[in-house]
Each structure stands twice: as C-alpha cells, then as structure tokens.
C-alpha cells in the first residue's frame, strides 16, 4: 500500500497520555480476550476523536470513521513491526496509525498482523488471513470487526477457556458464514485467528480457543 505524505494539520489525534492510555486500553483488550463473551468498554481516552464528530467546526473533521474501541485498540496494539490491513479505505485512519504507531499498511490481508474491517458484511474468508504455523502460532492475525451492535442479533453460545460454563452473545451485522469459517479453523489449533467485535466504545473478545454454537 502506497504511503502518501501525512498532513499534520488534519491528522487524527492519538492518546493524550500515550503511556498510561496505551496501558489502560491494553488491559481492557487482554481482559476481553481472557473472558470471552463479556463486554469490555474503552474509557474516553480519545476526547479529540469525539470532539471532531460533535463539533462541525473542529479542525479534526477529517477524523477516521473508526469507532472509539477500534481506533484505541489499534493505537494500543500496533507498532512498526505489525503490518495493518484496512478492509475499507480510510486515509485518516491509515495516516494516524502510521504517525502514532509506526505501523506499515499492507494491501494483502495475508500479510497483516492486525486487520480492521469497518463493514462486517465485507469480511473476507477467514482462511485468507495469516493463521500462524505450528511452531509459531503467534504469527497469526488479530481481527477487529466493527458490528452494528453487540446485542440484539441471533444468539451464539460460547464455551471454552475463560468461560465457566457457557456465555451467550448476540452481535448484529456479522455474516452468517463467519461462524462456519471460524469453526472450520478449529482443527488447525494452535493456529487460527483471534477476533474482537467492536461497536462504539465497547468490544467482545473471541480468541481462537473459544467454541461457538449458533442457535
């Protein structure tokens, strides 16, 4: 992906306190992934992002379309060694990630360490992403998938590590094939993909170890 010059005057602001904000967001992300099915909330660590959406005269009107949870997660997770794939073109998001994290952008989802899908309906087949290898399963992708809502959809029953018995989620906007494709990757463990479903400031973690049954 070609990296165009970054216009600092329209750059989407990052964390006001990069060290502490990154740590706080990372803890939320880790907790969500270790307790699948629970809803985590990203605190208001990006006030400038919210201001740009509520004040038409704000100079940051070119802010990324990514919701708070998605943008904050990418800022906390990405660095110069983690290629990022954006399923939908978002020059503001790309510029912000390059500037604040040093992360390179890639046109190939198979090369991505992190991928952001702003429109869940356009999610590519999961097998097309990096799944890791038996000797290095950590070299797999983490997907951040924006959904319309984290509740109100068809119930999905989760089980596995981090869940005492079962947990039920009901996200809205995921294509039905997502659950079938995810189940097809289960025999490849420890390879696979980890996912976050994001909506607004909230998110749900879905590690590769979690089994899902659609009711």
Assigned fold of 15-214 = Rossmann fold (3.40.50)
Condensed to tens digits (0 to 9), the pLDDT of residues 137-168 reads: 889 999 999 999 999 999 999 999 999 999 99
For residue 198, give Cα distances in angstroms to 7, 25, 58, 82, 103: 28, 13, 25, 20, 20
What CA–CA distance (Å, rounded) separates 5 from 71? 20
Q: Please give the share of the chain, as a percent, with pLDDT higher than 90.
A: 75
Condensed to tens digits (0 to 9), the pLDDT of residues 163-211 reads: 999 999 999 999 999 999 999 999 999 999 999 999 999 999 999 999 9
pLDDT over threshold 50, residue 55: no
What CA–CA distance (Å, rounded) separates 84 from 177? 23
Q: Which residue, chain included where needed, has tokens 């959809």? A: 153
**Verdict on whether the full-model pTM lies above 0.85:** yes
């Amino acid at each position: 992906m070609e990296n165009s010059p970054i216009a600092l005057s329209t750059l989407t602001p990052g964390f006001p306190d990069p060290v502490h904000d990154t740590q706080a967001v990372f803890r939320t992300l880790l907790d969500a992934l270790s307790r699948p099915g629970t809803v985590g909330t990203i605190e208001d660590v990006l006030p400038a992002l919210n201001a740009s959406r509520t004040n038409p005269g704000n100079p940051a009107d070119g802010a990324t379309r990514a919701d708070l949870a998605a943008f904050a997660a990418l800022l906390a997770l990405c660095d110069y060694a983690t290629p990022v794939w954006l399923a939908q073109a978002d020059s503001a998001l790309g510029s912000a990630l390059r500037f604040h994290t040093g992360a390179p952008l890639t046109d190939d989802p198979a090369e991505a360490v992190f991928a952001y899908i702003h429109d869940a309906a356009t999610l590519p087949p999961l097998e097309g992403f990096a799944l890791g290898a038996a000797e290095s399963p950590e070299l797999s992708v983490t997907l951040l998938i924006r959904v319309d809502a984290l509740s109100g959809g068809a119930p999905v029953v989760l089980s596995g590590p981090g869940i005492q018995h079962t947990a039920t989620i009901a996200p809205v906007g995921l294509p039905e094939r997502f659950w079938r494709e995810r189940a097809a990757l289960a025999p490849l463990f420890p390879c696979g993909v980890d996912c976050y479903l994001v909506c607004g400031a909230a998110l749900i973690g879905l590690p590769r170890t979690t089994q899902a049954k659609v009711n």
